[in-house]
Structure 1
Amino acid sequence: MRKLLVYLKPFRGFVALVLLFVFLQSLSELYLPTLMADLVNNGVQVGDTPYILKMGGWMLLVAALGAICMILGSYYSAMAASGFGRDLRSKLFTHVSSFSQQEFDQVGTASLITRTTNDITQVQQVLIMIMRMMIAAPMMAIGGIIMALWKDTTLALVIIGVMPILALAIFLIARKGVPLFKAIQIKLDKVNLVQREGLTGIRVIRAFNRTEHEQRRFEEANFDLTDTAVKVNRIMALMMPTMMLILNFSTVAILWFGGIRIDHGHMQVGDLMAFIQYAMMILFSLIMLSMIFVMLPRAAASAARIQEVLELSGSIHDAERPVEPGQGGTVEFRDVTFRYPGAEEPALRSISFEANPGEVTAIIGGTGSGKSTLISLIPRFYDVESGQVLVGGVDVREMTQASLRAKIGFVPQKAVLFSGTIADNIRYGKEDASDEEIRHAAATAQALDFIMEMEDGFEARISQGGTNVSGGQKQRLSIARALVCKPEIYVFDDSFSALDYKTDAKLRQALKAETGDATVIIVAQRVSSIRDADRIVVLEGGSVAGMGTHEELLQHNAVYQEIVASQLSEEEIA
């Protein structure tokens, strides 16, 4: 947790003010019992009304100053902790944004969300407690002991005898509760994961009548979290009654022995009243410290999870001396082998081919043949294990990621839209795109007709995840987003799968005119979408099983022949 405190540095002024006001508040609270003792001893017992009024006024003034200090301390501690949480969230989000797909796979999206929200909130709350209590509690305890000893050294032995008993009770309760606090954060991850899957996959869940199954999954995770939370709260619930029992017994003991000392003339009534208040301060300070020490492990667990993400270095970095990308959009794979982290077998083996500007290069193969993996290497979502991927004659690892991706218009297999208007989603590809450019890109992507049928046209709202448009409409908007930036390289990862044959044909015809000088790489499942490609790369088991035009592969490549035979009739093949 200490490593995260670096994000508190910009708020050192607020922290200093918190310490000052907590110090002043503690002094006021320590001074009040002494004033009360003087009021009772020198005013009440002798019936001196002016003295009572005078000391009562001082007590009100000291109490008011203490209250003002408490309010200001709370305000500045909240300011410091909230600023700390804000900066840490920003840092975490920025850091996570630099991750490659490998790091996202390693940590998990649901866990990253929990760490950015709940874990930071836990640290933030404990930070407020530390600033408010970690200073006040020791001051009150030490100050209370000094004042109690000053009032009556003999009676102070009661407090000294009670403190070990209180400390032992706190230790035994905390030892049971602390491990459960750590388990809660892990189980919260599980709840977030199940909930996220349930919400994002709601259509599939309903389509297969699996609503009850998902409800059971969520209930299992939810009840597991609840059981742990109940267990830890049941243990922690013992703390306050135990503390109060010890406090009350302490008060009885102080009153008993204090009464004896008053009878013997060793102590005055006012001093006994002040002594009881100092004893309560000391014991309550120990309870405050115990609450911090109970909360600290949970915050420490959260801080460790946050630090784990911050220390997780992205596996993909820009070169120390990056090379400017070459002119032209030639994409070349040279003997490329790639293996997913932890996998025993490579996903791609010795892949070599070249895609040139003005040509359409298609990639086809069975499920799991490595098509999507292959094109993920072009924008450096992953890095190769061996071999090279070159764009414009330059190894992609020698360019900056920004300059590389500026050359590529990427349309993913799963179309992703963002909440906002249709125009906002298309303009995502080019921030300063004009209305005419947006309209032209939509027309080329065969999206203009359905856009204009919507009530607000290009200003129509897209809901989160694009759930208010169909799969085919999502794909066409994704294609329009890539077209509007007019890149040198277009990569379509099975981006026409949700389109009917008529729309597919019209879109390919429009793309041919729009992308004439660019390098076009298409991953496809349907032979009909790629039969006119200048080059078709056939993948099987992560290796190149053939390469050539549709006609060449149809004559000489058994894998391609099998794919074609499974999709086209004999008349269509002829």
Structure 2
Amino acid sequence: MTRWLVGHTRRLLPPLVLATLARIVGHLLGVAVIVLAALSLVRIAAGDDVPVAGLVAAIVAMSLVKALLRYLEHYAGHWVAFTALQRLRELLFARLVPQAPAATTGRASAELTERATRDIDRIEVFFAHTFPPVVASVVVPAVALTWFAIVIDAGLAAIVAAFLAVALALPFLGARTAWAAARSAAAARGRLATHVADDVQGLREVLAFTAEDARRAGLERLGDEVARGSARVGRTVAVRLLLERMLWGGCLVALLLSGAAPGDVVAAVALLVALWLGGVSTDDFATGLDAAFSACERVQRIVEAAPLVRDEGRARLADGILSVELDDVTFRYPDRDEPALSHVSVRFDGGGWHRVAGVSGSGKSTLASLLVRGWDPDGGRILLGGTDLPALPLDAVRGAVAVVDQRPVLFTGTVASNLRLARPEADDEELRAALHAVGLDDALADGLRTTVGERGTTLSGGQLQRLALARALVARSRVLVLDEALSQLDAGTAQTVRERLEHAASGTTVIEITHRTDVIPDDATVTVVDRGEVVEHGAAGALRTGGGPFARLSLRA
């Protein structure tokens, strides 16, 4: 884990080394101040002449330098830490985008938010509170004890060194158990964040079905999981700290019983206290390290996951009107046994309005996901303008094909800012034309300045769908896939939108996916999908009276 963190933040090593050097020199000065004061007191007690003014000046000077080094250590260390967090967040989103939407489907947004915020924040401990202390906890005692052994007493130095070696090994005590507990607590925090986000977003449903007690009980259970995980970590840390304090106390007793000269014992005790106060202890870095590594592991799983769709295409997309063709396409979701689509072959000619009909779960929405390379098929080919989709750059595919589904996502802001998501340069006239095409030009109180709440909560379901459709028109996509995109509109409004859209999207290849056969005119071409297979294709009027799957589907309407 350490190698992975350092590997992705290698350019930040120089200032991290600076912070480490500042800590080492600063702590050595701290040791020097205490030991010098102790040796001076021993000399004064022995009746020796000690230049007090010079002693005070030396202590003040070392203390001032130590303070400056402390500031430098904190400044450099936290600059590295927060810059590393920024780069890790950039890395997380850079790696997550190619995995979407496949990698994000089924994942709660709150869980991903937890990884992008809280988990990455916990990694700050490694840079600001782990690397410099770990290095200093080895270097400072080594230098100080070597000096003490040479100048004062090697036997006393050996006693302190023995106890210190055991103390430095304490972070490894129960390390596997502590890490497992930290991972469990981190996972529980993710589930807790998801639960809270669901409660906030579904507040109306919770109140409508009087489910407050059930949701509160679920929240308490998750809170207990977090508490149990944190308690396991806390118990491990408490044992470490108890053993550490016992070691320091045992070392003090061993020094007092060593039989060495009293002055040398005083100096050794002063050295022990200086090392302890200087941070040569496990609680400086071991306490938060387990949580930092468990959080890092959660982030690493996203960053290192291979994209399910690779962006390696270099072909140029054809100009003009685009056709869409599925050639013997088969696709199965990773967690399913049955294929969502099986040997599907159908062609949608460029510039036409095509319908795909079928019951819920028949594979219609999967077809839409494949057209924008949310997934790649397991077998067969999908051609856009005669070119195989993987041969095209991913941006080119998603810039040419727009999918509007029945549950679109809008962002907090205004109607105008949401419409300009794909084309920020679009002017107000173009936005108003798009709103007119979907019948929203007179339905919004403040027009383009109308406020859109989080996830479009300030709009009705029908307005939300139409605004998403208008956004697709502003994007000027050459293929428009409507996946139940008008399902929340009444029949009259939906028909008006279709008529206006047919004029506004002239030259666009439109593929409308629906389970409602009553909205499909007799002269329209329809492809009927059932259980992942194309079971019928042809003119709707002929199929409606043919006694086949489309006719049976029409009887349900």
Compute the TM-score of the two structures, normalised by the length of structure 1. Answer: 0.90
1:313 CA displacement:
1.5
Inter-partner Cα distance in structure 2 for 1:180 and 1:106: 26
Could you say if the C-alpha distance between residues 170 and 93 of structure 1 is closer, same or farther in structure 2, counting changes exceeding 3 Å?
closer
SS in 2 for 1:98: helix
CA gap of 1:160–1:426, structure 2 versus 1, over 3 A, is closer
- 2:359 corresponds to: 366
After superposition, the C-alpha distances for 1:187-223 in whole angstroms (9 at most, x for unaligned) are: 2222223233333333333333323222222221121
The answer to whether structure 1 residue 348 and structure 2 residue 341 are counterparts is yes
Out of 461, 485, 498, the residue aligned to residue 451 of structure 2 is: 461
Match in the other structure for 2:90: 90
The answer as to whether partners of 2:27 and 2:278 remain within 8 angstroms in 1 is no
Match of 1:329 in 2: 322
SS of aligned partner of 1:155: helix
In the TM superposition, what is the alpha-carbon distance from 1:302 to its structure 2 partner? 2.6
Whether the 8 Å contact between 2:414 and 2:452 is mirrored in structure 1 is: yes
Task: Give 1:488's match in structure 2, choosing from 468, 471, 478.
Answer: 478
Report the secondary structure of 2:383's partner residue: strand
Identify which range, 147-156 or 489-498, moves more after superposition: 147-156
Question: Which residue, 506, 514, 532 being the options, matches 1:524?
Answer: 514
Counterpart CA distance in 1 for 2:176 and 2:269 is 30
2:9 is paired with a residue of what secondary structure?
helix
> Are residue 304 (structure 1) and residue 297 (structure 2) matched?
yes
How far apart, in 2, do the equivalents of 1:429 and 1:75 lie? Answer: 41
Q: Deviations over 1:446-482 (max 9, x none)?
A: 111221x2xx431122111111111111011001101
Once residues 548 and 142 of structure 1 are traced to their aligned partners in structure 2, the CA distance between those partners, rounded to angstroms, is: 85
- C-alpha change, 1:289 and 1:126, in structure 2 (3 Å) is same
Post-superposition shift, 1:326? 5.1
* Counterpart selection for 2:419 from 426, 432, 437: 426
User: How far apart in 2 are the matches of 1:176 and 1:519?
Assistant: 58
Change (3 A) 1:494 1:106: closer
Distance 1:355 1:182 in 2: 50
The residue type paired with residue 526 of structure 1 is R
2: distance between equivalents of 1:245 and 1:319? Answer: 60
1:401 aligned onto 2:394? yes
Superposed, 1:32-47 pairs within 5 Å as 32-43=33-44, 45-46=46-47
Instruction: Say which of 528, 545, 548 aligns to 1:538.
Output: 528
Q: How far off is 1:529 after superposition?
A: 2.4
Partner of 2:196: 195
Structure 1 SS opposite 2:403? strand
Question: Kindly tell me: are residues 110 and 30 of structure 1, through their superposed partners in 2, closer, same or farther at Cα, counting changes over 3 Å?
Answer: same
Q: Is 1:551 paired with 2:552?
A: no
Aligned to 2:135: 135
Which range moves more in the overlay, 83-92 or 392-401?
392-401
Partner of 1:572: none
Q: CA deviation at 1:414?
A: 0.9
Amino acid at match of 2:477: P
Residue 449 of structure 1, aligned match among 442, 447, 470? 442
Aligned residues of 1:155 and 1:254 also touching (Cα < 8 A)? yes
- 1:116-135 alignment to 2 at 5 Å? 116-135=116-135
Give 1:25 deviation, angstroms: 0.6
Matching residue's letter, 1:63: S
The answer on whether the counterparts of 1:33 and 1:274 sit within 8 Å (CA) in structure 2 is: no
Code of the residue aligned with 1:240 in structure 2: it is: L
Do the aligned partners of 1:43 and 1:52 also contact (CA within 8 Å) in 2? no
1:382 to 362, 375, 384: 375
Q: Are the aligned partners of 2:171 and 2:282 in contact in 1 as well (CA < 8 Å)? A: no
**Take 2:450 and 2:197, find their aligned partners in 1: how far apart are those partners?**
26
Deviation at 1:320, TM superposition (A): 4.8
Q: Does the aligned pair in 2 maintain the 1:472–1:499 contact within 8 Å? A: yes
Matched AA of 1:551: G
Q: Residues 507-564 of structure 1, C-alpha deviation per residue, up to 9 Å, x if partnerless?
A: 1111121123221110112223222562111111111121122211111143222222
Output the CA distance in 2 between the equivalents of 1:164 and 1:48.
37
Change (3 A) 1:557 1:516: farther
Change (3 A) 1:75 1:308: same
The structure-2 alpha-carbon separation of the partners of 1:428 and 1:170, relative to structure 1 and needing over 3 Å to count, comes to closer
SS of the equivalent of 1:450 reads coil
Cα distance in 2 for partners of 1:486, 1:447 equals: 18
Query: Is the aligned partner of 1:206 residue 2:207?
Result: yes
Aligned to 1:318: 311
Three-state SS of the structure 2 residue aligned to 1:94 is helix
AA at the equivalent of 2:420 = R
Map of 1:220-259 to 2, 5 A cutoff? 220-257=221-258
Conserved? CA contact 2:528–2:536, under 8 Å: yes
Structure 1 stretch 357-366 or stretch 247-256: which is displaced more?
247-256
Of stretches 187-196 and 201-210 in structure 1, the one that deviates more from structure 2 is 201-210
8 Å Cα contact 2:333/2:340 also seen in 1 = yes
C-alpha deviation, 1:400, in angstroms: 0.9
Percent identity over paired residues: 25
Matched, 1:476 2:456: no
**Residue correspondence of structure 1 range 173-192 to structure 2 within 5 A:** 174=175, 176-192=177-193
Does the aligned pair in 2 maintain the 1:325–1:404 contact within 8 Å?
no
Compute the displacement of 1:489 (Å): 1.4
1:437 aligned to 399, 412, 430, which one? 430
Amino acid at match of 2:456: G
Q: 1:460 to 1:47 in 2, by over 3 A?
A: farther
Provide the rounded CA distance (Å) in 2 between the counterparts of 1:245 and 1:422.
65
Report if aligned partners of 1:102, 1:341 keep a CA contact under 8 Å in 2.
Answer: no
Aligned amino acid, residue 317 of structure 1: R
The 3 A distance-change label for structure 1 pair 131 and 222 is same
In structure 2, the CA distance between the partners of 1:388 and 1:320, relative to structure 1 (3 Å rule), is closer
Q: Give unpaired runs (5+ residues) of structure 2.
A: none
Tell me what 1:500 maps to: 490
Determine if contact 1:138/1:285 at 8 Å carries over to the other structure: no
Equivalent residue of 1:299, what SS? helix
The question of whether the paired residues in 1 share the 8 Å contact of 2:170 and 2:282 is answered with: no
* Structure 2 match to 1:69: 69
Specify every segment of 5 or more residues in structure 1 that has no aligned partner in the other structure, as ranges. Answer: 568-574
Q: 1:274 maps to what in 2? A: 267
Q: Which amino acid aligns with 2:370?
A: L
- CA RMSD, 1 decimal: 2.5
Rounded Cα–Cα distance in structure 2 between residues aligned with 1:42 and 1:533: 109
Whether the 8 Å contact between 1:361 and 1:534 is mirrored in structure 2 is yes
Q: Indicate the larger mover: 152-161 or 281-290.
A: 281-290
> How far 1:369 moved relative to its partner?
0.7
Alpha-carbon distance in structure 1 between the residues aligned to 2:29 and 2:164:
24
* C-alpha deviation, 1:372, in angstroms: 0.7
Q: Secondary structure at the match of 1:362?
A: strand
Does residue 392 of the first structure (1) align with residue 374 of the second (2)?
no
Match of residue 104 from structure 2: 104
2:7 corresponding residue in structure 1? 6
Q: CA deviation at 1:252?
A: 4.2
**Contact 1:147–1:278 at 8 Å: present in 2 too?**
no
- The one-letter code sitting in structure 2 at the alignment partner of 1:83 is T
User: What are the equivalent positions in structure 2 for 1:124-163 lying under 5 Å apart?
Assistant: 124-149=124-149, 150-156=151-157, 158-160=159-161, 162-163=163-164
Amino acid of the residue matched to residue 513 of structure 1?
Answer: H
Residues 363 and 522 in structure 1, CA contact (< 8 A), matched pair in contact too: yes
8 Å contact from structure 1 (residues 425, 481) kept in 2: yes
3-state secondary structure, aligned to 1:376: helix
Contact preservation (8 Å) 2:241, 2:282:
no
> Partners of 1:321 and 1:506 in 2: how far apart?
40
